[in-house]
Amino acid sequence: MSKKAGKDQGKLDDAPLWMWGIGLVGLLFVLGSIGFALYEAIAGDASPADVTVEVVKILPAQDGFLVEFRVANEGGTTAAGLTVEGELRNGAEVVEASDTTMEYVPSHSEREGGLFFTLDPSQYDLQLRAKGYETP
């Protein structure tokens, strides 16, 4: 063994105990992340997106009304490009409609958005629904 290699080995042995502890914690985080990713890939929830839409509140806006809503995806698949449609109905007649696209709603999560209407939604039957999505 050369003289230089012996010096480098001595530096490793002289490392403080707290440095070894930090290295061990980092190693545990890396191994835990890899283990979790493998577990999700093998045994994760692969059920289709299960989307529900609910009204949070109705607010007056500059040119009408804003209906704030919450989308919940209880399924195991992400819903990308989710289209949410809102309709104001007077009996069977659709008086006004509005829609928006939620770019990304991960599995087991919630996202919020809003729809604009010119008519007051509290004066009509407001119906919100998810129309469709893509699997990313």
> Which tens digit of pLDDT belongs to each residue from 91-133?
999 999 999 999 999 999 999 999 999 999 999 999 999 999 9
Q: 12 versus 105: which is more confidently predicted?
A: 105
pLDDT bracket for residue 11 (50, 70, 90): low
Please tell me the predicted confidence (pLDDT) of residue 74: 94
Which helix H or strand E contains 71, and what residues bound it? strand 64-73
d(CA 85, CA 72): 15
Which of 1-10, 27-36, 63-72 bottoms out in mean pLDDT, i.e. has the lowest?
Answer: 1-10
pTM of the shown model: 0.70
φ and ψ at 25, to 5 degrees?
-60, -45
Please tell me the predicted confidence (pLDDT) of residue 7: 56
Residue 1 has pLDDT above 80, yes or no: no
Neighbours of 82 (CB within 10 A): 24
Tokens of 51: 């989307």
Sequence length of the chain is: 136
Model confidence over 41-100: pLDDT tens digits? 787 777 899 999 999 999 999 999 999 999 999 998 999 999 999 999 999 999 999 999
Pairing of strands 51-61, 109-117: unpaired
Please tell me the predicted confidence (pLDDT) of residue 4: 58
